Amino acid sequence: MTATLREYFAGVQHRLPDEAERVLRALDDYGPMNKEELSLTAKVKRAVLDHVVMQLYALGLVDVATEGKSKMCSMTSLGWDFLELSKAG
């Protein structure tokens, strides 16, 4: 059983919470940022953001790196592909 990337992304998009798209769009529009900035920019409560970021990280759509005391979030190349395919329809 082999699914195309488009079919896989469609399944992922269906299962992710609505906040996930807002997080990805914020990272797309403004680039890498820490979780506090991301929470404000994406308009996602911080407690919810932590869960969403971990889901996106587990799927390989977002990378999380530690810089000092901050956790910096950025999109991966797979995340860019996911966002482009979700924009296309």
Instruction: Name the residue ranges covered by the structural domains of the chain.
Output: 5-88
User: pLDDT confidence of 88, banded at 50, 70, 90?
Assistant: low
Q: Which residues pair with 33 in a beta bridge?
A: 73
Mean predicted confidence (pLDDT) in 57-84: 92
- Whole-number pLDDT of residue 3: 67
- When pLDDT is averaged across residues 69-84 and rounded to a whole number, the result is 91
Instruction: Enter the CATH code of domain 5-88.
Output: 1.10.10.10
CA atoms of 42 and 32, how far apart (whole Å): 12
Q: What is the pLDDT of residues 5-58, one digit of tens each?
A: 788 888 888 889 989 999 999 999 999 999 999 999 999 999 999 999 999 999
- Residue 66 three-state SS: strand
Tokens read off for 57: 């990280």
